[in-house]
Structure 1
Amino acid sequence: MRSERFRDKIMIVTGAAQGIGREVAIRAAAEGARLALVDRSELVHEVAVEIETAGGSSIAILADLENWEGARDAVATAIRQFGRIDVLVNNVGGAIWMRPFEHFDDRQIEAEIRRSLFPTMWCCRAVLPSMIEVGSGVIVNVSSIATRGINRVPYSAAKGAVNALTVAMAMENAERGIRVNAVAPGGTDAPQRRIPRNSENQTEDDGRWIDEVVRQTTESSFMKRYGTLEEQANAILFMASDEASYLTGTILPVGGGDTG
């Protein structure tokens, strides 16, 4: 562990209440970052308390990042608190339904895109002017190797768009001192979500389709296993750090050999 990598750095982590986002936030705080933790769940306050109790510095911001106003206001709040943003980790996203494409309706398709593309796009747009003004900044978008996978076509499309957004932003902003990369996690073992992405009753077909995804994800990994939260956070924090200073426009797959 490089305990000083983020000393004096101001970092926004979105989707910080649970899972990968929570792991990234806690570890970044332990390495010296001052954090703005953004989530639409009240659970994000617990993460802020955990960081403060351990001697770190953070604020919790409740926001719905699926709309522009939520992202704009969250970034503005972080800048008012800390004065600038050095690092943005866009972690919000995740498949809501897992089923063959013909079983998605129009409402579900739009919900998947809103969930897994727009929070990243809006937050990139919201933070960019402040980074341009100071002539530096790092953005790490959390994508997915599920751009090649089954039973998640709308989610896969959204994450493919995140990859394209990452590369295009990197090309536009490299000479402004801003790096933009993405980390594409594979299947990841994590505690059961306290607030599920999908609260609908699961049918027998739903269970079978989810099992198909688990089987495909495991079989596609050379290591034949899911990753850990720590393994995903390692890659994200590397990309966020100065150790990755000559990397931009890169999509880093973290899937045990599955490149998506």
Structure 2
Amino acid sequence: MIFHGRFAGKAIVVTGAAQGIGQAVAERMAAEGGRVLFVDRADFVTEVASRATGEATGFCADLETYEGATQAIAAAADKFGGIDVLVNNVGGAIRMRPYAEFEPPQIEAEIRRSLLPTLWCCHAVLPYMLAAGGGSIVNVSSNATRGIHRVPYSAAKGGINALTLSLAMEYADRGIRVVATAPGGTEAPPRRIPRNAAGDTAAEQGWMADVVEQVKSSSFLKRYGTLEEQVAPILFLASDEASYITGSVLPVAGGDLG
């Protein structure tokens, strides 16, 4: 459902916007009147943005680096004259395996992917929001802070939750709201870039099947959510309708609080 004009005049950055939840969020925000910068390290993000309804621009950046984050945020501020809303969506488990089976470089890769982009982008956007006297940051966390075969990812998302609460407390008196959603398992179209470019081993495929079963069984509704069911809470929290909500992490996982 489109709420026409909900983000009219708002300058918005959505990260991880080339596919999945991020793409769906960015497209809806543009359709609801926002001026949206779709950011992703996948070069087809410009193609995705070009198909969106409304004012949308693609920008390619590696948000695992501070340089990439600052470039993306600066590009949005230059184009739009400021930034009202930041949706930090980059992240996602690369591998599924018991913690004892993870190798140290794999653990570091999970933290870089699912924690650092949000840390960097929050840091990069603050000067612009402080100068404007306010803004909204929505971090996409996960209910998988409790789950199997994803301990490094779980740790990264626990960091997102802590960042959300602390940043909200620190900047509430400056007019900046910081909130998060914690999605559960979500049905989405096939990824154009797989989460694990090296491919899953037979053992990892089995561990992934265990994760899918755990996610469904832990949900009160016994199913994965839809993209729309994840997008709607993100847009609400980003909007002026949620003006009295900050420092909250909203589970969106069919009753599984993580």
TM range (shorter): over 0.9
Quick check: 133-142 or 194-203, which moved more?
194-203
Alignment of 1:5-20 (within 5 A): 5-20=6-21
CA distance in 2, matches of 1:127, 1:70: 12
Q: Aligned residues, how many? A: 257
Deviations 1:24-69 (A, max 9, x none): 0111111000001100001211221111xx3x11111110000101
1:227 aligned residue? 225
Match of 1:3 in 2: 4
> For 1:152, which of 128, 150, 153 is the aligned residue?
150
Aligned counterpart in structure 1 of residue 201 of structure 2, from 203, 206, 209: 203
Matching of residues 147-186 of structure 1 within 5 Å: 147-186=145-184
Which residue pairs with 2:127 in the alignment?
129
Aligned equivalents of 2:76, 2:10: Cα separation in 1 = 13
Q: Specify the alignment match of 2:33 in structure 1.
A: 32
What amino acid maps onto 1:162 in structure 2? I
Question: How far is 1:225 from its partner?
Answer: 0.4
Unaligned runs of at least 5 residues, structure 2: none
Shift of 1:230: 0.6
In structure 2, C-alpha distance between the alignment counterparts of 1:58 and 1:202, rounded to whole Å: 35
| 3-state SS in 2 of match to 1:227 | coil
3-state DSSP class of the match of 2:6?
coil
Q: Note the C-alpha offset of 1:215.
A: 0.2
Secondary structure of the corresponding residue to residue 188 of structure 1: coil
Deviations 1:205-237 (A, max 9, x none): 111100000000000000000000111000100
- What is the alpha-carbon distance in structure 2 between the residues aligned to residue 244 and residue 201 of structure 1? 41
Instruction: Report the AA paired with residue 212 of structure 2.
Output: V
Equivalent residue for 1:61? 59
> Does the residue aligned with 2:139 lie in a helix, a strand or coil?
strand
Deviation string, structure 1 residues 231-252 (Cα, Å, up to 9, x no partner): 1000100100011110000000
Which residue is equivalent to 1:41? Answer: 42
1:166-202 deviation digits (Å, cap 9, x = unpaired): 0000000001000000000000000110101202232
1:245 equivalent in structure 2 = 243
2:106 is aligned to 108
CA contact (8 A) 2:50 2:58 kept: no
Which runs of 5 or more residues in structure 1 are unaligned?
Answer: none
TM-score (norm 2): 0.98
Report deviation, 1:2: 2.1
CA-CA distance at 1:71 after TM superposition: 0.3
Are the aligned partners of 2:36 and 2:56 in contact in 1 as well (CA < 8 Å)?
Answer: yes
Q: Distance in 2 between matches of 1:199 and 1:133?
A: 40
1:192 to 168, 190, 193: 190
After TM superposition, what 4+ stretches of structure 1 lie above 2 angstroms from structure 2?
none
From 136, 139, 142, the equivalent of 2:137 is 139
Partner of 1:98: 96
- The percent of aligned pairs where both chains have the same amino acid is 63
8 A contact 2:12–2:36 mirrored in 1: yes
